């Protein structure tokens, strides 16, 4: 497939009303794409095969960007392992198969960095995806999303169906989920620190011991990477999307506290799980194959995220 001109495509974005999806939709429109279909889960439940068929009939897409997923932090994954596995698996399997049958020209999907083995050597390289079992607290979710890659490769081999699967690292930014029951680490830290400041608390309790490392990708950078893949990439080999900057949870917490003006201290609850010990990506494949490089520093991204939280949610 030659380079895809998004301005001349009808594009279906599953999850297009969500955190990442809303930025993808904005960037599509900035590229001149006038026909963008954003389904809502209340109208099209992607776990329901008939709803998937109805969605394709109603949207008639040339390109599908599949971002919809049932997601959450460690707590949400621990409470719902069966639900996370079932729903994410069915969403992907059914959508990709029906897209092939419907004659969609191309599908680009996002998997998850949670699909990598628990003890993957750092930096994570795409060739290491199958060298072990994922970290236990989010393995059902990670494996369900990993099946997108298997299906993409199998369907390209048998049917010639053009699909690609990207593996973004942990995302953050404005419009993130700040609910402590289901949020990821950066929005959870911001919310906990904001409430500690408001209530005059001198300590904030965090899960684990602070030693695990993570890599974070600003949400608008990720959206740009997805669209570059839509435009320039036509292959089913896995591709990481990341920033190339690894930081420990303890250092991250101190950084957010400093940016928010919090002078208290952190207490680590070691009875809670740490999650994967280290997480950082080799992002050279994305740069080589479709020219993606993250441009937003962690400090700048955190400032924008904190500013957004204060405008929308500050206690």
> How far is 173 from 155, CA to CA, in rounded Å?
34
Distance CA 129, CA 46 (A): 26
> DSSP class of residue 120?
P
Rounded CA-CA distance 56/99 in Å is 7
How far apart are the C-alpha atoms of 35 and 108, rounded to whole Å?
17
Q: Where are the beta strands (DSSP E) in the chain?
A: 10-14, 35-37, 63-66, 106-110, 163-168, 170-172, 203-207, 213-218, 239-241, 246-248, 265-269
Distance in angstroms (rounded) separating the CA atoms of residues 314 and 198: 9
**How would you class 133 by CB atoms within 10 Å of its CB: exposed for 0-12, middle for 13-18, buried for 19 or more?**
exposed
**195 neighbors 201 (Cβ within 8 angstroms):** yes
Query: Is there a contact between 267 and 193 (Cβ–Cβ < 8 Å)?
Result: no
In the annotation, is 141 catalytic? yes
3-class DSSP state of 50: helix
| Catalytic residue, candidates 44, 116, 133, 141 | 141
Active-site positions? 141
């Amino acid at each position: 497939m030659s380079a895809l001109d998004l301005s001349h495509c009808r594009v279906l974005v599953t999850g297009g009303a969500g955190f990442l999806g809303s930025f993808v939709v904005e960037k599509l429109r900035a590229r001149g794409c006038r026909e963008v279909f954003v389904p809502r889960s209340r109208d099209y439940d992607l776990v329901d095969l008939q709803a998937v068929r109805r969605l394709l009939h109603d949207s008639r897409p040339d390109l599908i960007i599949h971002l919809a997923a049932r997601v959450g932090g460690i707590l949400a994954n621990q409470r719902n392992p069966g639900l996370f596995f079932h729903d994410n698996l069915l969403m992907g399997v059914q959508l990709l198969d029906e897209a092939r049958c419907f004659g969609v020209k191309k599908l680009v999907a996002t998997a998850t960095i949670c699909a990598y083995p628990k003890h993957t050597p750092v930096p994570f390289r795409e060739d290491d995806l199958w060298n072990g079992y994922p970290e236990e607290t989010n393995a059902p979710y990670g494996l369900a999303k990993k099946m997108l890659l298997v299906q993409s490769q199998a369907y390209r081999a048998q049917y010639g169906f053009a699909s690609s699967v990207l593996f973004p690292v942990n995302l953050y930014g404005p419009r993130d989920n700040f609910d402590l029951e289901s949020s990821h680490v950066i929005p959870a830290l911001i919310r906990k620190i904001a409430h500690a400041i408001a209530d005059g608390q001198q300590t904030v309790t965090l899960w684990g011991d602070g030693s695990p490392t993570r890599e974070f990708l600003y949400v608008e950078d990720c959206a740009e990477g997805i669209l570059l893949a839509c435009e320039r990439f036509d292959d089913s080999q896995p591709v990481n999307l990341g920033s190339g900057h690894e930081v420990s949870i303890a250092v991250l917490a101190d950084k957010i506290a400093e940016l928010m003006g919090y002078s208290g201290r952190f207490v680590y609850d070691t009875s809670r799980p740490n999650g994967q010990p280290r997480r950082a990506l080799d992002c050279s494949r994305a740069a080589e194959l479709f020219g993606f490089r993250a441009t937003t520093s962690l400090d700048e991204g955190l400032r924008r995220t904190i500013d957004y939280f204060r405008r929308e949610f500050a206690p």
